[in-house]
Structure 1
Amino acid sequence: MREEIIRVLEEPHKYHYKAEWLESKDLYERQLFEIFAFGNIKEVPEGVTLTSSMRSKLEKLTLITLSETHNELTYENIRQQCQIEDNSIIENHLIQLQDIFKVQMDSVNLSIVFLKRLDCRDVYCNERELAVIENPRVTKEYLVNNLRNWKTKLKQDILDQSR
């Protein structure tokens, strides 16, 4: 793997890789960018070698995915989903991700609550066929449906308040 690709994947504050995935001509590099754009740590195929920094980044990306579907998580759930063995790593990741979300950590009960989300994972819009990820969670259709549901809920809330 080229040093340039490793450097991009290891960049500490970079969490979006869709542009690199779309621009990549090399099949192996494109698959890596696909995993980092839309996948989680459990979706890394056998034979794909990650540096420790790349693995750490993918753990964080998996944690971002979890933040999009849960309001509260236990450390145990995070350890299983992100394949992390140590609670201190979880807490370090949460601190490093403060530009993505705000959390309240409970080190006694080993749980976290997501207070505010500031960013999300890349959105798959069928721009190119996927080679590694079978079912990306965040798609254009998923977002449009969520926005429609939110709009309906807001309208209903307004109607309920006006009565």
Structure 2
Amino acid sequence: MAIREEIIRALEEPHKYHYKAEWLNSKNPKERQLFEIFAFGDIKNTPENMTLTSLMRSKLEKLTLITLSEKYNELSYEVIRQECQIEDHSIIETHLIQLQDVFEVEMDSVNLSIKILKRFDCRDVYCHEKELTVIETPKVTKEYLVNNLRNWETKLKQNILE
């Protein structure tokens, strides 16, 4: 079954990085799987039998990069290359520039590394609204966020008391 053109357009939309609403509202199982990957997964979650357009693949590379930016403050190009399955450093830098609405980054083209300076947005959060069919363990869940906030609160309290 072919994917509808409107679904492809939504997944290719350059400045759209959130697909949870589409995942929740999708009635078509194949389209729902695609939205699940784009909402909660990364490039490595794409099934081998799933065909993506080049723009959809590029979007998944960027979504994977956003996930990495949520976990690390500093990243080497090599880690980005492996995790996002990108071969060329210029593509990494292009993606970083295109993601300036999501985070502010300092690129070091000599040492081939980046520093995340500010974050403005994040990936969709999985809250067990529906059962996942492709992603086994989403990176960002409600529980993950609550634990991080509690850890942050503890750290702040300790810093104040010191």
Shared fold, TM over 0.5 = yes
| Match of residue 56, structure 2, among 48, 54, 57 | 54
Aligned to 2:70: 68
Match of 2:81 in 1: 79
Q: What residue identity is the alignment partner of 1:93?
A: H
CA distance in 2 between counterparts of 1:70 and 1:151 reads: 19
Point out where structure 2 has 5 or more consecutive residues left out of the alignment.
Answer: none
Count, aligned residues: 160
2:46 paired residue number: 44
Residues in 2 aligned to 1:71 and 1:140: alpha-carbon distance in whole angstroms: 21
Q: Does the residue aligned with 2:7 lie in a helix, a strand or coil?
A: helix
- Give the alignment partner of residue 7 of structure 1, picking from 9, 16, 22: 9
- Residue 152 of structure 1: how far off its partner (Å): 1.1
Instruction: Supply the distance in 1 between the matched residues of 2:113 and 2:97 (Cα, whole angstroms).
Output: 14
Task: Give per-residue Cα distances to partners, 1:70-117, cap 9 Å, x unaligned.
Answer: 111111111100000000000000000001001110001111011111
Picking from 99, 102, 114, the partner of 1:100 is 102
> What is residue 20 of structure 1 aligned with on the other side?
22
Taking only the aligned residue pairs, the percentage that are identical comes to 79
What TM-score does the superposition give when structure 2 sets the normalisation length?
Answer: 0.98
Shift of 1:132: 0.0
Shift of 1:6: 0.3
Give, in angstroms, the shift of residue 159 of structure 1. Answer: 1.1
SS of residue paired to 2:145: helix
1:135 aligns with 2:127: no
**Which consecutive unaligned segments of at least 5 residues does structure 1 have?**
none
Q: Which stretches of structure 1, 4 residues or more, deviate above 6 A after TM superposition?
A: none
Secondary structure at the residue paired with 1:127? coil
Paired residue secondary structure (1:136): coil
What is the rounded CA distance, in whole Å, between the counterparts of 2:116 and 2:70 in structure 1?
9
| RMSD, aligned CA | 0.5
C-alpha separation in 2, matches of 1:26 and 1:154 = 46
Give the C-alpha shift of residue 153 in structure 1. 1.0
